[in-house]
Amino acid sequence: MEVTHHGSKTSSTPRFLNSFKPEIAVIQVGADNSYGHPTPQTLERLQRAGAKVLRNDERGDVIVTIQDGNADVAVTKGG
């Protein structure tokens, strides 16, 4: 799933995460942004939901390919 609003404190509510149970969460966010995104609260909610969090400020481009119900993830930085 793509995390909404760059991981702001109101994105990815517990109700939403409990309904969809994401395995992968991609956060499109700029490095050292002045808004503090993603927020610690959002990262904690995603972790509790069991989602693998991939942030483009840390991992570069995040490419998720889904085929036959399987997700393949590639990143351009940080392995």
pLDDT score, position 6: 87
**Of residues 54, 48, 42, the one with CA closest to residue 13:** 42
**Domains identified in the chain, total number:** 1
What would the pLDDT profile of 58-70 be if each residue is shown by its tens digit?
A: 999 999 999 999 9
pLDDT tier for residue 79 given thresholds of 50, 70 and 90: low
Q: Which residues contact 62 (CB under 8 A, 6 or more apart)?
A: 26, 54, 55, 56, 73, 74, 75
What is the domain extent for residue 47? 4-75
